[in-house]
Structure 1
Amino acid sequence: MTASTVKLIITAEVAGQRFDLGKVDIQISGKLDEVINQGMQSMGTALYGAILQGVDDGLRETAPTGWQNIGREKRTIMTCVGSVTYKRRVYKDTTGKRRKPVDEVLGIDPYGRYSLGVQQKGSYLASELPYREAADILSWLIRNHVSHSTIGRMIRAVGASLQAEEQDRLEQVFEKGARLEPGRVPAKVLYGESDGVFVPLQREAKKKVEVRVGVMYTGKKVIGVGRKALENKVVVTKIVKNSQEWQETILKTAYEHYDLSKTAQMVVGGDGNSWVKQSFDLLGLPTVFVLDRYHLYRNARRAFGHTHKTETWIRKICEGDLETVLSEMLAVVAKSPPRKADGMKAFIKYLINNRDGLLDPDCRSHLQPGLGNLGGIEGNVDKLVVRRLKGRGRSWRLDGVKAMLAVCRHKEELRLGAFKPFMKSDDGCQPKNTYQKKIDYGEWLQADVPAIHLCHSGRPWAKVLKEIVHPRGVL
């Protein structure tokens, strides 16, 4: 060992047995942190195998008496610390089925090659990035090659598991005798919005499929100057066969999160489509509809142009003066070319069909004051579906879309499960700067302008400025 080399020897004791995890010669260089990381990861692989051996020995003592030990089998799995090879005992239970207690404890499928932690990391990365980029980052994290097709298989496996869990909870709501604890979030007034977006498919009977998106919340809270966030927000994304299935999914989600027994009013927002208005019907609450302002402004500008008159019309419509605006619009339609007039007539028909939702929420006395327009659905459609499943030439198989939607719905849970150790601690150990500078707002009254009283006091502009600041007869 030279002065530029450090030898590292680590020994671990697991279940009373000592294991030599290996020896590493660390070269002191500019890449010291990377060298240490590689050495610790190789030792972590050895420690992982030693722990599994200790767990297998412990499970031998708790195995049912009717199980027959038929030997050991070798298995290799990819973990967050690298590839781990271990031997575990195999049993045959009373029914003749082969059982591997260690694999069952780890939650590894019979033919699975990746640990739960690796699958969570891969799924979360793929919910944010394309498969190839997610594969490159995951390969760097676990220091083993992972292909983009492997990421796709992870998404399908994790997504299928999440969908099965959601379906089980859905059945508990509607099955007779099944019990599911209702939500506890108070919601005197519950707000709900929904919209749909089409996603392209490949190698399927249809070229595209509609993904329905719903969002529910209890109000808005201020998070900055001119910025508000939805409070107690819950989102739903799903590909459904019909509106009945969509309404049941909405009901299950609302029942799980909100205390609906104390909800007196439901405010529904959307683009005016019939299934959008009916999305929350199964909740059985008194409902009012508010037309989504994004679609209102977009359709108005497409029909009548982006002009000052159009903006004035929209403002009057939202304040309840629809009849006056309709007469002015019809006068414009009479003077327009036939092709352009057809678009204007379609927009007028759109207003008439949704006239119950045109009035602003702030103009309705029974709604929460200061709420403003609803309009939260478009941003959620973009974040939950459009950014990940559309654009850049993407097209999907149907099972892949469903799996990715499930992963995106549970993105926060996957992030916490996969990367929580690397998050900033909230335990209050970080020092807080409690010093606050005291400002004397009277200081500026005593401030002086040297140019007026010293070097430039005799110049014309200085005399004029001095007269403005200190008029004669005042000081």
Structure 2
Amino acid sequence: MEKFIKELEEELFRTKPKDLEVVGFRKKNIATKLGEIKIKRRLYKKKNSKNDYIFLLDDKLNIRKGRRVSGEYLKLLVSLSSMLSFRQVEEVIEEAGFPSLSHATIHKEVREFGERESKRIEYEREKVFTEGKLQVGGKKEKDLLFIEADGIMVSSQEDKERMEIKVGVVHEGWNYETPAKSRRRLKNPKVVMGMYKDADSFWEEFSSEISKEYDLTNTQVVLNGDGASWIQETAKDYFPGLIVQLDRFHIKKDVSRHFGYEIAEGLYKVLQEGEVQAFLDTLESLIWEAKTKEKQKQQHKLVKHYQKYKEHLLDYRYRLPEKLKQKKKLYGMGVVEGYVDKNIARRMKNQGMSWSKKGAEAMAKILMLKHNKKLKERLNDEYYKIKSPIKVLKYRKRKYTGNCSNWLQAKMPVLYGVDSGKDWVKAIKQLVTV
């Protein structure tokens, strides 16, 4: 491969534009899954220009500035980095016999991929909302669609405050995973996650991703999430007729923490039976039994929060139109916690990990693509591939358009002269008539 690259470099030098001049040579190493390729190429500068420099070889083979790995090797690094820390990836590739890379280099290559994919998704989001409304692009129509949202806090390298990664899961309902019908799985789940400057940015991206697959014109959307305002309030602006439900897991956990486990168990059953007012009245009456003012203050704050979102306390199954209740077998919601643990927490919170804002966003987008089974597709994008010098050379070979037979018309008078019968002339004749 180094030989072919060198040949291509010389070919590019021979056919370089007249306005380019060579200012020197530069070396570069590219790590591939089969080994490391060492290349030496010319740096060119445009004449009468101070800062216009170019590597013709890099441009022809699609070798980006600062790039250290080939496209196929990048696939391996990104895939491993979605499961392991960068230091662990460094150890794995070394043990497996691949070209050694430092964890800093692995981090740089993987983060660059994640950042570029994040910008691509951001561009698509802005394109969808240029007219201030959602443009329907998907063709799949569903009577009912389920959304779950949550946030996870990760440690920041830049300050003491933690950063929130917002997560949204959309699915079409449930299927049984086993013939015995003992376990259910989500039907066609899709995840959106990342760092967002505000709630609107998240819901714009989320609705943009959904619109690629679904036409929501006649769809009833149900949202389940904790008490965060970006879930309970902002989402309504993006899904007309949205049914919002406070997540049962969080309700049970919060009531248990502030009022006790037994009370939480009893009131959870009351809430599941649709008795929202009885649930609120009972909690409010229990505030005065708190042993300390601080405990009383915390209980009052929780009850006030539930009163604010009173309509969201009622299970979504009580609020669906009758025609939808009869069409499907419906279950309780609350899967987002598992998705957060599986897709983010295991990778981004282990062993006291901390992240920069850009690094966290890049990894979140990689995990999102992986879950949605689009990571391989994106890694196969032409942008990440280094072109084969063999193919480039093949197409750069110049064709001779003249008469190739002219040189064959030459004559040797000795063959027909007075010595034509001699042995040495006969020998020459045999040679030139091969």
Give the shorter-chain TM-score range.
0.7 to 0.9
1:271–1:295 Cα contact (<8 Å) kept:
yes
SS of the residue corresponding to residue 64 of structure 2 reads coil
1:438 aligned partner: none
1:161 aligned partner: 116
| Distance in 2 separating the partners of 1:107 and 1:375 | 46
| Distance in 1 separating the partners of 2:107 and 2:356 | 11
Q: Note the C-alpha offset of 1:327.
A: 4.2
1:229 aligned partner: 185
Kindly tell me: are residues 281 and 363 of structure 1, through their superposed partners in 2, closer, same or farther at Cα, counting changes over 3 Å?
Answer: closer
Which segment is superposed worse, 75-84 or 344-353?
Answer: 344-353
Q: Percent identity?
A: 26
Q: 1:377 aligns with which of 317, 333, 336?
A: 336
1:171 equivalenced with 2:126 (yes/no): yes
Q: Note the C-alpha offset of 1:279.
A: 4.2
1:320 aligned partner: 274
Deviations 1:316-371 (A, max 9, x none): 11221133344444554444424444444334333322221222233344255422
2:280–2:306 Cα contact (<8 Å) kept:
no
Q: 1:360 aligns with which of 295, 308, 315?
A: 315
Deviations 1:193-222 (A, max 9, x none): 222222211234x52222221222222222
TM-score (norm 2): 0.72
2:224 aligned partner: 269
Q: Note the C-alpha offset of 1:276.
A: 0.7
1:249 equivalenced with 2:205 (yes/no): yes
Kindly tell me: are residues 312 and 93 of structure 1, through their superposed partners in 2, closer, same or farther at Cα, counting changes over 3 Å?
Answer: same
Q: 1:119 aligns with which of 63, 74, 95?
A: 74
2:398 aligned partner: none
Kindly tell me: are residues 104 and 166 of structure 1, through their superposed partners in 2, closer, same or farther at Cα, counting changes over 3 Å?
Answer: farther
1:190 aligned partner: 145
| Distance in 2 separating the partners of 1:142 and 1:59 | 34
Q: Note the C-alpha offset of 1:185.
A: 3.2
Kindly tell me: are residues 76 and 324 of structure 1, through their superposed partners in 2, closer, same or farther at Cα, counting changes over 3 Å?
Answer: closer
Q: Note the C-alpha offset of 1:397.
A: 1.9
* Higher RCO (C-alpha 8 Å, min separation 6): 2
| Distance in 2 separating the partners of 1:218 and 1:94 | 61
1:79 equivalenced with 2:55 (yes/no): no
2:356 aligned partner: 397
Deviations 1:69-117 (A, max 9, x none): 9698764311111101346687778998655565446542133221122
TM-score (norm 1): 0.67
Root mean square deviation of aligned Cα? 3.5
1:110 aligned partner: 65
Q: Which residue identity is paired with 2:166? A: R
Q: Which residue identity is paired with 1:249? A: E
Unpaired segments ≥5 residues, structure 1: 1-47, 420-475
Q: Which residue identity is paired with 2:362? A: A
State how 1:89-100 maps to structure 2 within 5 Å. Answer: none
Kindly tell me: are residues 276 and 58 of structure 1, through their superposed partners in 2, closer, same or farther at Cα, counting changes over 3 Å?
Answer: farther
Q: Which residue identity is paired with 2:231? A: V
Which segment is superposed worse, 380-389 or 153-162?
Answer: 380-389
Q: Note the C-alpha offset of 1:294.
A: 1.0
| Distance in 2 separating the partners of 1:373 and 1:396 | 34
| Distance in 2 separating the partners of 1:286 and 1:95 | 64
Q: Note the C-alpha offset of 1:278.
A: 3.3
| Distance in 2 separating the partners of 1:364 and 1:186 | 21
| Distance in 1 separating the partners of 2:73 and 2:291 | 62
1:32 aligned partner: none
Kindly tell me: are residues 76 and 294 of structure 1, through their superposed partners in 2, closer, same or farther at Cα, counting changes over 3 Å?
Answer: same
1:209 aligned partner: 163
Kindly tell me: are residues 161 and 327 of structure 1, through their superposed partners in 2, closer, same or farther at Cα, counting changes over 3 Å?
Answer: closer
Kindly tell me: are residues 401 and 116 of structure 1, through their superposed partners in 2, closer, same or farther at Cα, counting changes over 3 Å?
Answer: same
2:142–2:216 Cα contact (<8 Å) kept:
yes
Q: Which residue identity is paired with 1:390? A: K
1:120–1:417 Cα contact (<8 Å) kept:
no
Deviations 1:152-194 (A, max 9, x none): 21222112211221122123213369x9881233332222222
Unpaired segments ≥5 residues, structure 2: 381-434
Deviations 1:282-333 (A, max 9, x none): 43421111111110110121122222x5323211112211333444445544
1:193–1:376 Cα contact (<8 Å) kept:
yes
Aligned residue pairs, count: 367
Kindly tell me: are residues 343 and 287 of structure 1, through their superposed partners in 2, closer, same or farther at Cα, counting changes over 3 Å?
Answer: same
1:121–1:418 Cα contact (<8 Å) kept:
no
Kindly tell me: are residues 351 and 253 of structure 1, through their superposed partners in 2, closer, same or farther at Cα, counting changes over 3 Å?
Answer: same
| Distance in 1 separating the partners of 2:135 and 2:317 | 36
Kindly tell me: are residues 76 and 322 of structure 1, through their superposed partners in 2, closer, same or farther at Cα, counting changes over 3 Å?
Answer: closer
| Distance in 1 separating the partners of 2:47 and 2:142 | 52
Q: Note the C-alpha offset of 1:226.
A: 3.3
Q: Which residue identity is paired with 2:336? A: I
